[in-house]
Amino acid sequence: MTELATVDAAHGALSPVVDERWLAVEWPEPQSVLSWAVVGGGRARARRVVWRRVGERELRPPVDFRRFLRAEMTSAGYTDGVGLLTARRLDTAVDVTRHFGALSARCVTGTGTDCLVIAAPEAHRWATYAGKHTAIGHLVGAAVCEAITRGAALWLSEQVQGRQAVSR
């Protein structure tokens, strides 16, 4: 699955909206986002990032992923924002937040780094950069590292369980 990391000192924790087909994270104010997203990718402004779970059958015959996802987002009422596709079950997402003083960093992930969206609030500029030796960089790194570790462990346990079920 893809991941979402946010650094947000003003708005506190945000709860992702999850159902069978969608994982959505929304902010009350626009964020500066940088991503490899299918819809809205690159550098942009967004108040929402959504992932759409897809099945193998939905992608046959060859599909224009961007057109498919835009249509799905419009149908679900997600007409704006950044959109990504995943084959991963969305109810297994791992959500980790790390805090340091007034700063926080958050990562929502499934298993790894297939795709990436980084979001930061536009309204508040505490720093003009974030490196690994800055508070912001440390928080993002710690949140991403823990979330990916937990997501990968969950995925591996599901693979073992799947193999055990097949061998019975």
CA distance linking residue 104 with residue 70, whole number of Å: 31
**For range 19-44, the mean pLDDT:** 89
CA-CA-CA-CA dihedral for 65, 66, 71, 75, to nearest 10: 90
pLDDT at residue 143 greater than cutoff 80: yes
**For range 153-161, the mean pLDDT:** 86
Higher pLDDT, 19 or 31: 31
Domain housing 131:
3-167
**For range 71-75, the mean pLDDT:** 95
Domains: count for the chain: 1
Provide the percentage of residues in the chain whose pLDDT is more than 90: 19
Q: What confidence score (pLDDT) does residue 92 get? A: 77
Backbone dihedral angles phi then psi of residue 104, each to the nearest 5 degrees: -145, 155
